[in-house]
């Protein structure tokens, strides 16, 4: 059946049965008899119905692409042992389709591609006794780069994201149908765990283009067989902007005010049904910054009690909820995104989120408090015993030596009179270097295009002159005095595309403008600088160089350098439990950079904090005394060695930014 005609059939069915608001009422045709099969999952005005019986969703968010695949079963088992019966999962389009038409679902080889196997995650959830709810986007926010949208969308002519726009809808439909192909047999209608699919994500916070959201609804109705729902903030303007006819309206945030708002402002019967808080926040994500403290309820009993009281409020009324997050995981590599606040507020590598199961998969006091509350509403003995936490690994100091200067590991270059963006060079993430040989004396303040995008380190003749960082409302000025023959280099770091925009705060520019690198002309004083060699540095692969020393001494002001060292860990068994090797890597004498272990990109570190250690899952390590390789790209090296160690405790602290000692974010 064509999507539009299918929608009309659903709406007719809804009008024939006003007691139900299900978007899948086509399963209950007006001509159906009492002997018709009971839908696997549906809902009426007040309750979700699982095989015809009332079902309260006690859910929690857990995104498989933030978790090493080998740990999926452990995290799901802990969800079940806390009393959850449903897992809500975002899916990151940019990881699944890194290039147009390339579906990057691995066969278990390699951490990144293996974690993209959403179907395998859902099968494990089913085996663990959990239902699942799919949140596929195409936009998902989730503090991810560009809200999970792939960077290549920015190169599609005429495309506008999150709009009734033919190129965007065409790309979104191809993605959603391809994902649906992978998950088709896992729907509740076919005996699987998948019970609902979300349309877009908190769209009412961004816009009110109802043609767009209806078009997405039609695509999803044709691709999936289970009910659809929307999630929006629990106030009038977000609910009005995000509502979609024929789709259950859910809220996020405070359940007390949100539930009341849903029933007050959503009046279309086809959008009404049981109350669901689709994102109840366990705390908040962390942002880089010298004054940004770690977000946690640990050590805050009043905060824990508030969270418990809200959960109790929802369950006591037989309403449904999803804890955001149950387990946050990690934004490995360059996965984290940003907020636009008239400066670039960037999210840390850690996505701990103050979750009941922390970033390393260990249960917390919040977990136990939630479990105790859920037990009041579960049949006696129905919640399994929770596992005890495994201790984390300590790794003593590892001394790393310089191997390859970043500027000696440049690949193919583009040559242009004016700078080109990352996207113009088919680059999604990482760094980009702009190099200019001065032919006319220049004097004055450097301006790297329209603004810093996002962090520009300035070098003249191989010596650092300063840093222009959009993490600050007022980025520093770098004044230059250049002579003919000088070499000017601008190393630009993509700190993550903005992943959240609100029409309330007029931040649409951040959505429509995802470009990284330099946009516009570089000027020094009033003079435009023309003639650039441009080197993409996505760092998909590390430069070779073995253990050889850097060709020159590393001193303060030197360009970035890759440091390398090796270490060994125990675990002599042939198949040791990788969780016994989990640790947190710290770079105490580093300023800012990235860490790889055995070729796996852990993510970014930055001395300003609040994150001071990077989660290293034991799945990455070679046990039994084998040699493990550790590589650090330090962006502001100051000596010929770098120290790294593994801690059994996560480290959180804030320090002044050495590039902005008196500035505040």
List Cα–Cα distances, 630 to 195, 401, 627, 638, in angstroms.
Answer: 43, 11, 10, 19
CB atoms within 10 A of CB 347: 25
Give SS3 for 414: strand
Residue 38 — pLDDT band, cuts 50, 70, 90? confident
Structure tokens, 179: 């994902």
Q: Which residue has the tokens 């109840």?
A: 280
Can you tell me the distance from the alpha carbon of 331 to that of 67, in angstroms, rounded to the nearest whole number?
Answer: 9
Q: At what angle do helices 118-127 and 72-82 cross, to 10 degrees?
A: 40
CB atoms within 10 A of CB 257: 12
DSSP secondary-structure letter at 425? G
Residue 577 — pLDDT band, cuts 50, 70, 90? confident
Q: Do 163 and 191 fall within a single domain?
A: yes
Whether pLDDT at 572 is above 80:
no
Structure tokens, 146: 């560009």
Q: Are 82 and 386 in contact (CB under 8 A)?
A: yes
Question: What rounded mean pLDDT belongs to the chain?
Answer: 91
- Among candidate residues 111, 225, 279, 493, the one labeled active-site is 279
Can you tell me the distance from the alpha carbon of 586 to that of 644, in angstroms, rounded to the nearest whole number?
Answer: 6
Q: Is 663 contained in some domain?
A: no
Residue 547 — pLDDT band, cuts 50, 70, 90? very low
Q: Which residue has the tokens 């999507």?
A: 3
Q: Do 572 and 471 fall within a single domain?
A: no
* Nearest residue to 22 (alpha-carbon basis) of 203, 236, 246: 246
Whether pLDDT at 27 is above 70:
no
Q: Do 428 and 520 fall within a single domain?
A: yes
Structure tokens, 467: 């840093």
Structure tokens, 108: 């278990």
For residue range 265-320, list pLDDT tens digits in order: 999 999 999 999 999 999 999 999 999 999 999 999 999 999 999 999 999 999 99
Domain harbouring 190, CATH code: 3.20.20.80
Long-range contacts of 124-127 (CB under 8 A, 24+ apart): 124/72, 124/73, 124/76, 125/76, 125/87, 125/193, 126/186, 126/192, 126/193
Q: Is 306 contained in some domain?
A: yes
Q: Do 494 and 561 fall within a single domain?
A: no
Can you tell me the distance from the alpha carbon of 522 to that of 442, in angstroms, rounded to the nearest whole number?
Answer: 12
Give SS3 for 401: strand
Strands 248-252 and 276-281 come out as parallel
High-pLDDT (> 70) share of the chain, %? 89
Q: Is 6 contained in some domain?
A: no
Q: Are 538 and 493 in contact (CB under 8 A)?
A: no
Can you tell me the distance from the alpha carbon of 250 to that of 319, in angstroms, rounded to the nearest whole number?
Answer: 11
What residues pair up with 585 in beta bridges, in sequence order? 614, 646
Can you tell me the distance from the alpha carbon of 180 to that of 200, in angstroms, rounded to the nearest whole number?
Answer: 15
Can you tell me the distance from the alpha carbon of 512 to that of 509, in angstroms, rounded to the nearest whole number?
Answer: 5
Q: Is 571 contained in some domain?
A: yes
- Among candidate residues 111, 202, 225, 634, the one labeled active-site is 202
Q: Are 241 and 203 in contact (CB under 8 A)?
A: yes
Torsion sign across C-alpha atoms 241, 247, 252, 256: positive
Whether pLDDT at 35 is above 80:
no
Q: Domain ends where: 511, 537, 563?
A: 537
Question: What does the pLDDT read at residue 161?
Answer: 96
Structure tokens, 632: 């650090």
How many domains does one find in the chain? 3
Q: Is 10 contained in some domain?
A: no
Q: Do 419 and 399 fall within a single domain?
A: no
Q: Do 207 and 298 fall within a single domain?
A: yes
Q: Do 512 and 562 fall within a single domain?
A: no
Structure tokens, 653: 């602290």
Q: Do 489 and 558 fall within a single domain?
A: no
Q: Do 194 and 322 fall within a single domain?
A: yes
Q: Do 497 and 635 fall within a single domain?
A: no
Largest CA distance in the chain: 89
Residue 26 — pLDDT band, cuts 50, 70, 90? very low
CB atoms within 10 A of CB 396: 7
Whether pLDDT at 402 is above 80:
yes
Give SS3 for 628: strand
Residue 9 — pLDDT band, cuts 50, 70, 90? very low
Phi, psi of 534 (to 5 degrees): -125, 130
For residue range 448-506, list pLDDT tens digits in order: 999 999 999 999 999 999 999 999 999 999 999 999 999 999 999 999 999 886 565 55
Q: Which of 89-98, 442-451, 511-520 has the lowest mean pLDDT?
A: 511-520
Q: Which residue has the tokens 């506008």?
A: 160
Torsion sign across C-alpha atoms 153, 155, 161, 167: negative
Whether pLDDT at 32 is above 90:
no
Question: What does the pLDDT read at residue 341?
Answer: 86
List Cα–Cα distances, 477 to 20, 246, 342, 438, 474, in angstroms.
Answer: 61, 54, 17, 20, 9
Question: What does the pLDDT read at residue 29?
Answer: 38
Q: Is 34 contained in some domain?
A: no
Torsion sign across C-alpha atoms 361, 362, 365, 368: positive
Q: Are 459 and 445 in contact (CB under 8 A)?
A: no
Q: Is the peptide bond before 454 cis (omega within 30 degrees of 0)?
A: yes
Among this protein's residues, is 279 annotated catalytic? yes
Residue 662 — pLDDT band, cuts 50, 70, 90? confident
3-state secondary structure 582-619: CEEEECCCCCEEEEEECCEEEEEEECCCCECCEEECHH
For residue range 41-50, list pLDDT tens digits in order: 999 999 999 9
Per-residue pLDDT, averaged over 526-543, amounts to 96
Residue 459 is part of which domain span? 410-537
Whether pLDDT at 34 is above 60:
no
Residue 37 — pLDDT band, cuts 50, 70, 90? confident
**How would you classify residue 182: left for phi > 0, otherwise alpha for psi between -120 and 50, otherwise beta?**
alpha
Whether the model clears a pTM of 0.85, i.e. scores above it, the answer is: yes
Strands 642-647 and 395-405 come out as antiparallel
High-pLDDT (> 90) share of the chain, %? 85
> b/e string for 493-516 if b means 16 or more Cβ within 10 A?
bbbbbbbbbbeeeebeebbeebbb
Q: Are 186 and 130 in contact (CB under 8 A)?
A: no
Question: What does the pLDDT read at residue 12?
Answer: 30
Q: Do 264 and 346 fall within a single domain?
A: yes
Per-residue pLDDT, averaged over 558-579, amounts to 85
Helix (H) or strand (E) holding 434: strand 431-437
Q: Do 195 and 68 fall within a single domain?
A: yes
Domain harbouring 502, CATH code: 2.60.120.260
Per-residue pLDDT, averaged over 390-400, amounts to 96
Residue 661 — pLDDT band, cuts 50, 70, 90? confident
DSSP notation for 223-292: H--S-EEEEEESSHHHHHHH--TTSEEEEES-HHHHHHHHHHH---GGG--S-EEEEEESS---B-STT-
Q: Is 3 contained in some domain?
A: no
* Nearest residue to 197 (alpha-carbon basis) of 259, 131, 241: 131
Whether pLDDT at 612 is above 60:
yes
Q: Is 382 contained in some domain?
A: no
């Amino acid at each position: 059946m064509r999507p539009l005609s299918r929608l009309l059939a659903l709406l007719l069915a809804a009008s024939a049965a006003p007691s139900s608001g299900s978007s899948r009422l086509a399963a209950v045709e007006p001509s159906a008899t009492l002997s018709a099969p009971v839908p696997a999952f549906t809902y009426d005005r007040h309750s979700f119905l699982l095989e015809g019986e009332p079902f309260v969703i006690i859910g929690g968010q857990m995104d498989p692409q933030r978790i090493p695949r080998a740990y999926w079963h452990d995290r799901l088992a802990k969800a079940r042992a806390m009393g959850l019966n449903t897992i809500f999962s975002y899916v990151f389009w940019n990881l699944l389709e890194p290039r147009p038409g390339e579906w990057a679902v691995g066969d278990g080889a390699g951490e990144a591609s293996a974690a993209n196997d959403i179907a395998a995650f859902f099968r494990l959830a089913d085996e663990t006794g959990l239902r699942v709810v799919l949140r596929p986007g195409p936009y998902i926010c989730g503090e991810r780069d560009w809200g999970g949208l792939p960077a290549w969308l920015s190169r599609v002519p005429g495309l506008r994201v999150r709009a009734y726009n033919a190129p965007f809808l065409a790309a979104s439909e191809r993605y959603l149908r391809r994902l649906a192909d992978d998950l088709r047999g896992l729907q509740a209608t076919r005996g699987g765990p998948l019970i609902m699919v979300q349309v877009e994500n908190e769209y009412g916070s961004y816009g009110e283009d109802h043609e767009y959201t209806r078009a997405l609804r039609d695509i999803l109705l044709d691709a999936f067989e289970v009910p659809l729902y929307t999630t929006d903030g629990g106030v009038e303007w977000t609910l009005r902007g995000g509502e979609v006819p024929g789709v259950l309206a859910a809220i996020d945030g405070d359940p007390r005010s949100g539930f009341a708002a849903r029933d007050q402002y959503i009046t279309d019967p086809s959008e009404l049904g049981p109350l669901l808080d689709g994102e109840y926040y366990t705390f908040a994500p962390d942002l880089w910054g010298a004054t940004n403290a770690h977000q946690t309820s640990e050590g805050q009993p009043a905060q824990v009690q508030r969270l418990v009281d809200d959960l109790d409020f929802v369950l006591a009324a037989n309403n449904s909820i999803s804890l955001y997050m149950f387990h946050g995981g990690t934004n490995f590599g360059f996965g984290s995104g940003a907020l636009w606040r008239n400066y670039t507020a960037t999210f840390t590598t850690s996505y701990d989120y103050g979750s009941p199961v922390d970033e390393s998969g260990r249960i917390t006091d919040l977990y136990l408090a939630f479990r105790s509350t859920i037990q009041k509403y579960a049949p006696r003995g129905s919640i399994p015993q929770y596992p005890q936490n495994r201790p984390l690994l300590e790794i003593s100091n590892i001394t790393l030596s310089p191997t390859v200067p970043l500027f000696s590991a440049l690949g193919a270059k583009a040559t242009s009179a004016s700078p080109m963006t990352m996207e113009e060079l088919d680059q999604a993430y990482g760094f980009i270097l702009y190099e200019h040989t001065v032919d006319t004396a220049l004097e004055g303040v450097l301006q790297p295009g329209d603004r810093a995008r996002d962090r520009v380190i300035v070098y003249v003749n191989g010596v650092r002159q300063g840093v222009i960082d959009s993490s600050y409302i007022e980025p520093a000025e770098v004044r230059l005095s250049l002579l003919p023959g000088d070499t000017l280099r601008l190393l630009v770091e993509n700190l993550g595309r903005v992943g959240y925009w609100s029409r309330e705060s007029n931040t649409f520019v951040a959505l429509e403008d995802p470009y990284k690198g330099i946009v516009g002309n570089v000027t020094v004083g009033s003079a435009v600088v023309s003639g650039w060699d441009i080197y993409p540095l996505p760092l998909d692969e590390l430069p070779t160089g073995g253990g050889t020393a850097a060709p020159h001494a590393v001193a303060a002001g030197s360009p970035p350098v890759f440091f390398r060292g090796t270490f060994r860990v125990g675990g002599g068994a042939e198949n040791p439990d990788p969780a016994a090797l989990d640790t947190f890597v710290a770079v105490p004498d580093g300023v800012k950079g990235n860490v790889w272990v055995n070729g796996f990109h852990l993510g970014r570190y930055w001395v300003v904090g609040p994150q001071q250690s990077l989660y290293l899952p034991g799945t990455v390590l070679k046990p039994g005394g084998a040699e493990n390789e550790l590589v650090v790209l330090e962006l502001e090296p100051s000596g010929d060695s770098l120290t790294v160690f593994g801690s059994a405790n996560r480290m959180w602290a804030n320090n002044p930014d050495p590039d902005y000692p008196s500035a505040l974010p």
